[in-house]
Amino acid sequence: MQIATWNVNSIRTRIDQVLIWLKEVDPDLLCLQETKVDDPIFPLERFKSHGYHVSIHGQKSYNGVALISRHELNDIRLGFIGELPLDQEANDLGEQKRVISALVDNIRVVNLYVPNGSSLVSEKYSYKLKWLQCLERYLAAQAKRKEPLCLVGDFNIALEDRDIHNPKKLTGGIMASIPEREMLQKALGSLQDVFRVFEQESGHWSWWDYRSGAWNRDSGWRIDHIYLCDELLKRAKSCEIHKNQRGNIQPSDHAPVVVDINWTEEESPEEDEDNIF
């Protein structure tokens, strides 16, 4: 079971290279962020014509998340609503389309586009912290469901200094400040960053700024993550950043991240019930 996450920075601009990458890698599920398109004009058919199930939660110009799946998408949940009890704050935060979730092969996949925050003195930073607090409540509610959980997305936070090319300069600033790191860590609870199961070294990035020749200098950040519950973590076979996609012509500023999990239909509870004959 391969699950991928990719901030594509506009699906309409990136659709051709996403389809080429899908053909090469053929993951079971691709979680997209920053689709930047309103639902009625999302290029649904480009995916459906290749046999994918698609679920979208988009908006005009900004944000937007989507699930592109080889398997059926069940119990789809849009925004924080659907997991939390009726809640004004979650409702308000839902104006920005940043959360989509579904059951895929009996795995609960949650796809996030965490706010960037802009700078530590910005109102957007306060919004980011508020959003992370809501995420904590969302994940606490999700945990009670006892579903195997895979949490992916663009977190816009480098949790540790080894996730940044220049920690001396950047730690403490936006995407690497203590409050956002602590709040994300708290929200994650017992979920584990699967990339770090396989790789301890610094120097592995998922995002390179378009500006200042960041790609050519390999000045990146690792801000696109995949977190797994214990049950899935012990079945994880690999977690790779597909860095080559950042070298495409007219690339996204993010590269895809892919986890491979030992997960067959026979092992999932509902399928066991189906196999009684």
Partner DNA sequence: ATGGCAGCGTCACGCTGA
Name the residues that contact DNA, by CB under 7 A. Answer: 7, 9-10, 12-13, 34, 36-38, 60-62, 113, 115-116, 118-119, 124, 154, 156, 169, 173-175, 207, 209-213, 217, 221, 223, 250, 253
Indicate which residue of 154, 163, 193, 260 is catalytic.
154
Q: What's the rounded Cα separation, in Å, for the pair 157 and 185? A: 10
Residue closer to DNA (CB basis): 138 or 215: 215
Indicate which residue of 52, 113, 138, 227 is catalytic.
113
Residue closer to DNA (CB basis): 207 or 263: 207
Residue closer to DNA (CB basis): 8 or 258: 8
Residue closer to DNA (CB basis): 212 or 264: 212
Tell me, yes or no, if 127 is annotated catalytic: no
Residue closer to DNA (CB basis): 119 or 264: 119
> By C-alpha distance, which of 85, 117, 71, 120 is closest to 98?
117
Q: In angstroms, what is the minimal distance from the CB of 56 to DNA?
A: 14
Q: In angstroms, what is the minimal distance from the CB of 78 to DNA?
A: 19
In 10 A of CB 33, how many CB atoms? 29
Tell me, yes or no, if 154 is annotated catalytic: yes
Backbone angles phi, psi at 82, to 5 degrees: 110, -20
Element (H, E) at 93: helix 88-93
Q: In angstroms, what is the minimal distance from the CB of 86 to DNA?
A: 26
In 10 A of CB 106, how many CB atoms? 17
> By C-alpha distance, which of 57, 152, 61, 66 is closest to 112?
152
Q: Give CA torsion, residues 122, 128, 133, 136, to 10 deg.
A: -160
What single-letter DSSP state applies at residue 269?
H
Q: In angstroms, what is the minimal distance from the CB of 22 to DNA?
A: 18
**How many CA atoms within 13 Å lie on the side-chain side of 208?**
23
Could you list the active site residues?
113, 154
